[in-house]
Chains A and B, each alone.
Chain A
Amino acid sequence: MPGVKKYDAIVIGGGHNGLTAAAYLSRAGKKVLVLERRYILGGAAVTEEIFPGFKFSVCSYVVSLMKPNVMRELMLPKFGLELLPLESTFTPLDNDYLLRTADADQTYREIARHSLRDAEAYTRFGPLMGQIGMAVRPILETIAPNPIRPSLSDLSKTKKLLDHFKTLSSEQFEYLTKLMTMSSADFLDEWFEYEPLKASMAASGIIGTFMGPRSPGSAYVMLHHYMGDIDGAFRAWGFQRGGTGAVSMAIARSAEYFGADIMTEAPVEKVIVKNGKAVGVALENGDEYKSDIVISGLDPKLSFLKMVDESDLPSDFVTDIKNFRIRGSSGKVNLALDGLPNFTCLPGDGHHLRGAISISPSYDHLEKAYDDAKYGNFSKEPYMDIILPSVLDPDMAPPGKHVMSCFVQYAPYDIKGGWNDQKREAFGDAVINTIARFAPNIKDIILHRQVLTPADLESTFGLTEGNIFHGELSLQQLFTMRPAVKWADYTTPIKNYFRCGSGTHPGGGITGSPGEMAAKKILGIWS
């Protein structure tokens, strides 16, 4: 009977981080309840059959940053985790193309076709970024210390990190500093000269951010994307069989296997706070659930400005949360296709369709797309990261048909005049027209299209302002400052109220990391 049954922990939100936290807590023997607002689990990592026979990873579409220890500890392969490699990155140009593949020799020759110098530099760049990615990992894997009133363990954590930095070579330290502060364009200009190559690499520095490739700070996001590893290989991107929703489902099954209860269509109205302590949650339908602790997988804005009353929080903390930047900048267009797109520069089927297709012919293309967004419009010619999941996993579409996932930037949340149906369609048209520039047959093969604006991402998935990372990945919103100083260790000013979403350290992407680290922090407090 609702209201009576007592849980050790309740997780608000059945996104992949919420599920991960639930799985870890259950695995430690705790009784956990996960409450998901929608009919389906996964949050932004969800697969839905939008059109009959066509399955889409509706939002998040690739897996690169998932932590291997999470996969192992939660036994995810047993519950359906199957990651297929994304073979290549294909950048179509008007009269040529750039195709980077898993084979180093092949990629060397392909780049050498455009620039001999770049081909050579590329062989050094990847390993160096991998090394730096490895160098940052201890930060990512450390629960952020409190710099205001550091505890003994905070001090020892800080010392450990400092000691770690002393082990870096000065070259690594130099590049790390640059990556933390520079624009991806400036950083890449130090290495390369061929613009489509630079633009395609810089593109990973703008994904999910409200920045252009020439905006300082974008290099860090680029590094963030270099930190993923699948099968121990850095920066290997993967596609989950059955779509990213299958990742969430694997975690959910793991959580259930360890004893968690999971409820869908159970929207939480409020966290019940008594005497400064969280004691349970109230659902929109009036049901109440009691528990020792409550964990929010929602973004910081929803977690603090909606789920609890401001009066239960210190006022400077409320200011910090209000100042937390969470501007959404991306949209998603999902297409059901009657066949494969045919690229003018590289016609027909081939390797190039089995990987990411990056619409990033030049810095200017990206920068102009950003300019549109800066001044309150969606990009007329957007940057896109496209994949064709049905090429990798035929089950995603009926035989002979295909699904195409287009991650699109920029689509600002705060568009001039606000988003409406007409603007959504115009945005969809801009996307199709841009693809048609490189693959003219696209217009003839579209069976259905789904266009998601940041406003849609907010209303459907509860992402405030449609921000896919639960808060921008800017330097001042990382580590001890994510989401606010003193509260970056998954605790909150409300006792027994915790957080585990992407809006905590180490941030967004399908990593499972915030969920895992939050659970570990909580278990530490409990023991």
Chain B
Amino acid sequence: MNRFDVIVVGGGINSLITASLLGKAGKKVVVLEARDQVGGLASTTEFAPGFRCNIINDTLKWIDPRVMKDLNLEANGLALIQPEVVQVTLSENGEHISFNRDPRLTAASIANFSQKDAKSWPAFIEYIEKLAQFLERLYQLTPPELPNIGLSEILPMRLMLGPAFKHGTRGLVDLMRVAPMMMPELVDEWFENELVRSAISMAGINHLSFGPFAAGTGYNLLHQHVHGKGVFHNTQFVKGGTGELAQVLASVAGSNNVEIRTGSKVKSIDVENGRCNGISLTGGESIQADRIVSGLDPKNTFMNLVGTSNLNPNFHTQLNNIRYRGSTARVHFALNKLPEINGILQDQMKTVFSVGPSIEYQERASDSVKYGTIAENPTIEFTIPSLINHEFAPGGKHVLSATVQYAPYHLRDQVWSSKLNEQLKNNVVRVLDNYIPDFSSLIETTSVLSPKDLENEFGLTEGNLNHGEMTLDQFFFMRPTMSTAQYKSPIENLYLCGPGTHPGGGLHGTNGFNSAREILKG
């Protein structure tokens, strides 16, 4: 029967979470995924014969504890690997800083560069943790409808009081101080050594189209450290690959009677008189439901599926003004053997490596976005997932996956093509050659995903992994627009649950959780 309580469009992490929670509440739910597997950005695939990779995310920064608990993910088979060394920041001369789960070890590593900075470290992570705790609470909220905020919107905000009691209002003031900061401003207050400073700055520019000199990178840094429990650059791997997270969620959804249909591309969300009650698939089939939830980004949801002629003009303007501007690319290398990394021992390699050895280096890389070119010397974060999950590569061989900034979606006077993908790859190889001796000679095959490829493959508008930039003007009650920040939309019965909503991107599931709560309310 083609009639459901709820249709969830898209089969990404948040969609699966919303679907499961709604299924658990007794709703009859169907999930429609265009690709042949669910998971969206949490997908693992074979990119060359025998070589597998996590297409987008090798690691999880954090997962919403409410999701973990309510959907019982651990019991359902989600196995997270929490490495002792969470990140290693490389420098060109072979020295490096190891960020550890244990801050004392991190401080010790920093001490090789600056005693003073090592001393500042514990206070710094305490400071960040304090601010992150405020954000954690804020993330659990449904943003209020401003400016006409009433008591009913203020009451849930009392959640914020917990950390306020603990840290005083000074903590809240500090949050308001740090969130709009740019990276040099933040690190100037704490650290002197450039490698330390640049290592911190990397968190501020993660997946952003801006460089470290942009105000608001403070907020992006804090976003990476929510639920980080005081671990800076927190990193978790999923056993079996990031795609396993999606598999576990899919099976949880199944056990909550959610029907999942892959290979089902939604052509339109059908709207009449400002209200929707079903969707049409590209195959021609129509499905009806009381409510539709979209895990796609706002542009895909409203402009493409609902259609601009069904949007009121002001909402249409707001949608036009959401900034996506993907500028992160992924490059996967199939290697004929385990690479050596200057200054790193073989047993220290099950972690994330970052290359962006000075703030100026990072900023110069980001300048390319402004002028619509590919960064000549990009910042890179890479992992060797085949060390964590051995099935990722044939015996003795390995995979190196790199997240590369900046490769802007909007190029000037040229368009993304295989030639440019090649150029991007060459830039990455040239940079990595400085850190991995003879890196180019190890490469068997390469797979490059530019923002344009990400758009084509995953339907990400402008290839933005966060379904909209993580900037302060697209934060909280402004995400994705002022009129849709409560997970509902001006189209009656149409809801949102993707990373385009509060609190933004990452494989944490908070959007899906909050969205399900709102849908069950209405």
Chain A residues engaging chain B, CB cutoff 8 angstroms = 147-148, 165-166, 168, 170-171, 173-174, 177-178, 180-183, 186, 190, 211, 214-217, 319, 323, 325, 364, 367, 371, 374-375, 474-476, 480-481, 485
- Tell me the minimal C-beta distance from B121 to chain A in angstroms: 17
A contact residues around B473 at 8 Å (CB)? 177-178, 181-182, 186, 216
In this complex, the interface size class of chain B, counting residues with CB under 8 Å from chain A, is 35 or more
Task: Name the one of B147, B170, B178 contacting A476, with C-beta atoms under 8 angstroms.
Answer: B178
Of the A-B pairs whose beta carbons lie under 8 Å apart in the complex, a sample of 21, sorted by A's number, is A148-B169, A166-B148, A170-B146, A170-B147, A180-B472, A181-B215, A181-B216, A182-B471, A190-B320, A215-B213, A216-B214, A216-B215, A216-B473, A217-B180, A217-B216, A375-B360, A474-B215, A476-B176, A476-B180, A481-B173, A485-B170
Q: Are A480 and B215 in contact (CB under 8 A)?
A: no
B contact residues around A177 at 8 Å (CB)? 473, 477-478, 482
Q: Are A217 and B185 in contact (CB under 8 A)?
A: no
Q: Are A174 and B478 in contact (CB under 8 A)?
A: yes
A319 to B148, CA, bound (A): 38
Question: B323 in the interface, Cβ–Cβ < 8 Å?
Answer: yes
Query: Contact string, B164-198, partner A, CB cutoff 8 A, digits 1/0?
Result: 00001110110011111110010011000000000
A480 to B370, CA, bound (A): 33
A217 to B473, CA, bound (A): 10
A contact residues around B482 at 8 Å (CB)? 170, 173-174, 177
Q: Are A374 and B180 in contact (CB under 8 A)?
A: no
Closest chain A residue to B149 by CB distance? Answer: A166
Chain B residues engaging chain A, CB cutoff 8 angstroms = 146-149, 168-170, 172-173, 176-182, 185, 188-189, 210, 213-216, 314, 318, 320-321, 323, 360, 363-364, 367, 370-371, 471-473, 475, 477-478, 482
Closest chain B residue to A211 by CB distance? Answer: B215
Q: Are A323 and B360 in contact (CB under 8 A)?
A: no
Q: Are B178 and A186 in contact (CB under 8 A)?
A: no
- Tell me the minimal C-beta distance from B488 to chain A in angstroms: 15
B contact residues around A170 at 8 Å (CB)? 146-148, 482
A contact residues around B168 at 8 Å (CB)? 148
A contact residues around B360 at 8 Å (CB)? 375
Q: How many residue pairs between the two chains, A and B, have CB atoms under 8 Å in the bound complex?
A: 94
Closest chain B residue to A167 by CB distance? Answer: B147
Closest chain B residue to A319 by CB distance? Answer: B189
A183 to B181, CA, bound (A): 13
If A476-B181, A485-B177 are given as contacts, then 6 extra A-B residue pairs at C-beta distance below 8 Å, sorted by A number, are A165-B146, A173-B147, A181-B471, A364-B371, A374-B363, A485-B173
Q: Are A214 and B213 in contact (CB under 8 A)?
A: no
Closest chain A residue to B181 by CB distance? Answer: A476
B contact residues around A216 at 8 Å (CB)? 180, 210, 214-216, 471-473
B contact residues around A367 at 8 Å (CB)? 370
A351 to B221, CA, bound (A): 49
B contact residues around A215 at 8 Å (CB)? 182, 213-215
- Tell me the minimal C-beta distance from A154 to chain B in angstroms: 11
Closest chain A residue to B148 by CB distance? Answer: A166
Closest chain B residue to A150 by CB distance? Answer: B169
Closest chain B residue to A371 by CB distance? Answer: B367
A217 to B213, CA, bound (A): 11
A contact residues around B477 at 8 Å (CB)? 177
Q: Are A374 and B213 in contact (CB under 8 A)?
A: yes
- Tell me the minimal C-beta distance from B182 to chain A in angstroms: 8
A323 to B127, CA, bound (A): 15
Task: Name the one of A165, A186, A214, A319 contacting B147, with C-beta atoms under 8 angstroms.
Answer: A165
A341 to B472, CA, bound (A): 43
B contact residues around A171 at 8 Å (CB)? 314
Closest chain A residue to B363 by CB distance? Answer: A374
Contacts A181-B472, A323-B189, A474-B215 given: A481-B177 contact, CB under 8 Å?
yes
- Tell me the minimal C-beta distance from B316 to chain A in angstroms: 13
- Tell me the minimal C-beta distance from B471 to chain A in angstroms: 6
A261 to B368, CA, bound (A): 57
Task: Name the one of A166, A173, A181, A190 contacting B180, with C-beta atoms under 8 angstroms.
Answer: A181
A contact residues around B370 at 8 Å (CB)? 214, 364, 367
- Tell me the minimal C-beta distance from A352 to chain B in angstroms: 30
B contact residues around A474 at 8 Å (CB)? 180-181, 185, 215
Contacts A174-B478, A323-B189 given: A147-B173 contact, CB under 8 Å?
yes
A81 to B242, CA, bound (A): 69
Closest chain A residue to B145 by CB distance? Answer: A170
- Tell me the minimal C-beta distance from A308 to chain B in angstroms: 22
Q: Are A480 and B214 in contact (CB under 8 A)?
A: no
Closest chain A residue to B481 by CB distance? Answer: A174
- Tell me the minimal C-beta distance from B297 to chain A in angstroms: 18
- Tell me the minimal C-beta distance from A2 to chain B in angstroms: 42
A contact residues around B170 at 8 Å (CB)? 148, 485
A contact residues around B147 at 8 Å (CB)? 165-166, 168, 170, 173
B contact residues around A325 at 8 Å (CB)? 185
- Tell me the minimal C-beta distance from A203 to chain B in angstroms: 16
A216 to B216, CA, bound (A): 7
B contact residues around A178 at 8 Å (CB)? 473, 478
Closest chain A residue to B477 by CB distance? Answer: A177
- Tell me the minimal C-beta distance from A511 to chain B in angstroms: 23
- Tell me the minimal C-beta distance from A327 to chain B in angstroms: 10
Q: Are A186 and B323 in contact (CB under 8 A)?
A: yes
Kindly list the 4 A-B residue pairs having the minimum CB-CB distance in the complex, ordered from nearest: A217-B215, A475-B180, A181-B472, A181-B473
Q: Are A476 and B177 in contact (CB under 8 A)?
A: yes
A contact residues around B169 at 8 Å (CB)? 147-148
A177 to B478, CA, bound (A): 8
Closest chain B residue to A475 by CB distance? Answer: B180
Q: Which of A166, A173, A182, A216 has most chain B Cβ within 10 Å?
A: A216
A contact residues around B181 at 8 Å (CB)? 474, 476
B contact residues around A371 at 8 Å (CB)? 367
A173 to B321, CA, bound (A): 16
Closest chain B residue to A190 by CB distance? Answer: B321
Contacts A165-B147, A174-B482, A177-B478 given: A148-B215 contact, CB under 8 Å?
no
A439 to B394, CA, bound (A): 68
A357 to B107, CA, bound (A): 53
B contact residues around A485 at 8 Å (CB)? 170, 173, 177
A371 to B214, CA, bound (A): 13
Closest chain A residue to B475 by CB distance? Answer: A181
A contact residues around B321 at 8 Å (CB)? 190
A contact residues around B213 at 8 Å (CB)? 215, 374
B contact residues around A481 at 8 Å (CB)? 173, 176-177
